[in-house]
Amino acid sequence: MRAVKERLVQSFEERFGKEARPRYFVGAPGRVNLLGEHTDYNDGFVLPMAIQQEVNIVAAPRDDGRVRIYSLNFEQDAELHIDRLSESTGPRWSEYLRGVLVVLQDAGFAPRGMDLVLYGDVPAGAGLSSSAALEIATLLASSAVSGFEVEPTLAARLAQKAENEVVGVNCGIMDQFASRLGRKDAALLLDCRSLDYELVPLKDPAVRIVIVNSNVRRGLVDSAYNERRRECEEGARLLGVPALRDVTSREFAQQRDRLPDNVRKRSQHVIEENERVLSAVEMLKKGDLVGFGEAMWASHASLRDLFEVSCPELDALVEIAREVDGVLGSRMTGAGFGGCTVSLVREEAIERLERAVRTEYPKRTGLEPDIWVLTPEDAGAFVEPLS
């Protein structure tokens, strides 16, 4: 963290001059979803957790309304103006920052001009919410330099609105909520209808969360995501409820034959996945990690067979994990058709899993994986004044 801060401060001074030293250092994490996939836009339950990978920004206020931005990742500049935020002229990545400033203004806040340098190590396109991390980091930087506060739940809602209405990505609330409210050593149980949430401890030193990036480009996600949403909405309509979260598995079993085949399969996944999340949270509270792992295996099978958003590479990673003694559970995470798997792994099995994945995955797919082991370090959004 210190090295990132020093690099950003140095880059800031090189870009904007030493007389304009940054005033704030902010960060917002990516997230991995442990359980509850494709339930968020069905008003259901999700169980993400913040990860150590994050987006960091150093920021200083300006008095002229200009917003000057430099991205270390893209090695590109962008510029906005607080009085002309309707103009979209910058690179694609700057749209996320513009969107946040637009929704802040629309909500009655008064963001001011600022100079920003940003860097993120959340892998883009891996299903770990790099966009939400960028949005939350931008919101925190703007509120810090402008002298206003945004309540955390509202911050998540505004960041989601920025992505929906300005960037044009029809995401649910989970990503932004996890980035703003996720914390160290805890999963975040979120009710996506009420936005009630609970931090569920996940800090047993005998286990770790391991994320593996399949490095499959997720080219089908947008069209398939929209199609799945439509099928879920049709399922709720045919079942006579506002959303699929309002149907129990027992009620579904009595009415499933009324639904077209694909609508039935999508609805079954969502209904059972919601119940999996709630039962798995109780397992975590009781320390039943084996039971929690079984819920992860079941979730992947459902995503593969009922929701049909897995792919051969993700299936291969889960199959490899199942063959390693000490892996309690594994599943795809994210929208699907690529991205990452998440596994619950006993400490002594981590090296075995890494070795198996690095050996077997390239043989089966021709691709090289990236592997991250979540360690008990700080994770969570923050604002730090700089002297």
User: Are β-strands 186-191 and 327-333 bridged in parallel, bridged antiparallel, or unpaired?
Assistant: unpaired
Could you tell me if 104 and 241 lie in one domain? Answer: no
How far is Cα 161 from Cα 45, in angstroms, rounded to an integer? 20
Q: What confidence tens digit (pLDDT) does each residue in 186-207 have?
A: 999 999 999 999 999 888 889 9
Q: What confidence tens digit (pLDDT) does each residue in 282-333 have?
A: 999 999 999 999 999 999 999 999 999 999 999 999 999 999 999 999 999 9
Query: Which CB contacts under 8 angstroms, 24+ apart, belong to 349-353?
Result: 349/324, 349/325, 350/208, 350/210, 352/324, 352/325, 352/326, 353/210, 353/321, 353/324, 353/326, 353/327
What are the tokens at 326? 């000490």
Could you tell me if 231 and 297 lie in one domain? Answer: yes
How far is Cα 117 from Cα 59, in angstroms, rounded to an integer? 7
How far is Cα 77 from Cα 15, in angstroms, rounded to an integer? 10
Could you tell me if 195 and 307 lie in one domain? Answer: no
Q: What confidence tens digit (pLDDT) does each residue in 353-375 have?
A: 999 999 999 999 999 999 999 87
CA 8 centroid distance within chain: 24
Highest average pLDDT, of 51-55, 197-201, 271-275, comes from 271-275
Could you tell me if 81 and 186 lie in one domain? Answer: yes
What are the tokens at 278? 């709630």
What confidence score (pLDDT) does residue 221 get?
57
Q: Which has the closest alpha carbon to 37: 250, 253, 314? A: 314
Could you tell me if 247 and 368 lie in one domain? Answer: yes
Q: Which has the closest alpha carbon to 47: 329, 350, 382? A: 329
Task: Give catalytic residues, as residue numbers.
Answer: 175
What confidence score (pLDDT) does residue 222 get?
65
Residue 32 is part of a domain; what is its CATH number?
A: 3.30.230.10
Q: How many CA atoms lie within 13 A of 168 on its CB side?
A: 5
| Residue 109: other Cβ atoms inside 10 A | 18
Instruction: Please list the helix, strand and coil fractions of the chain in percent, rounded to the nearest 5, in that order.
Output: 45, 25, 30
What confidence score (pLDDT) does residue 373 get?
92
Could you tell me if 131 and 237 lie in one domain? Answer: no
Residue numbers of the domain that contains 264: 207-373
Residue 354 is part of a domain; what is its CATH number?
A: 3.30.70.890
Mean pLDDT, residues 333-352 taken together: 94
How far is Cα 101 from Cα 85, in angstroms, rounded to an integer? 8
| Residue 211: other Cβ atoms inside 10 A | 23
CA angle centred on 102, ends 99 and 103, rounded to 5°? 90
What confidence score (pLDDT) does residue 218 get?
66
The answer, yes or no, to whether residue 378 has pLDDT greater than 70, is no
- Give me the number of domains the chain comprises: 2
Phi-psi region at 125: left, alpha or beta (left = phi > 0; alpha = psi -120 to 50): left
How far is Cα 320 from Cα 349, in angstroms, rounded to an integer? 13
What confidence score (pLDDT) does residue 376 get?
59
Could you tell me if 224 and 253 lie in one domain? Answer: yes
What confidence score (pLDDT) does residue 204 get?
86
Could you tell me if 271 and 140 lie in one domain? Answer: no
Could you tell me if 25 and 120 lie in one domain? Answer: yes
What confidence score (pLDDT) does residue 219 get?
58
The answer, yes or no, to whether residue 44 has pLDDT greater than 80, is yes
Query: Which CB contacts under 8 angstroms, 24+ apart, belong to 77-80?
Result: 77/15
Could you tell me if 288 and 301 lie in one domain? Answer: yes
Q: What confidence tens digit (pLDDT) does each residue in 3-38 have?
A: 899 999 999 999 998 777 899 999 999 999 999 999
Mean pLDDT, residues 79-97 taken together: 91
- Which pTM was predicted? 0.91
Q: Is residue 154 classed as helix, strand or coil in its secondary structure?
A: helix
Query: Which CB contacts under 8 angstroms, 24+ apart, belong to 279-282?
Result: 280/35, 280/47, 281/47, 281/187, 281/189, 281/198, 281/200
The amino acid occupying position 24 is Y
Could you tell me if 16 and 141 lie in one domain? Answer: yes
76-91 CB burial, b ≥16 within 10 A, e <16: eebebebeebeeeebe
Could you tell me if 116 and 246 lie in one domain? Answer: no
Q: What is the largest CA-CA distance in the chain?
A: 70
Q: What confidence tens digit (pLDDT) does each residue in 109-162 have?
A: 999 999 999 999 988 877 788 899 999 999 999 999 999 999 999 999 999 999
Mean pLDDT, residues 257-277 taken together: 97
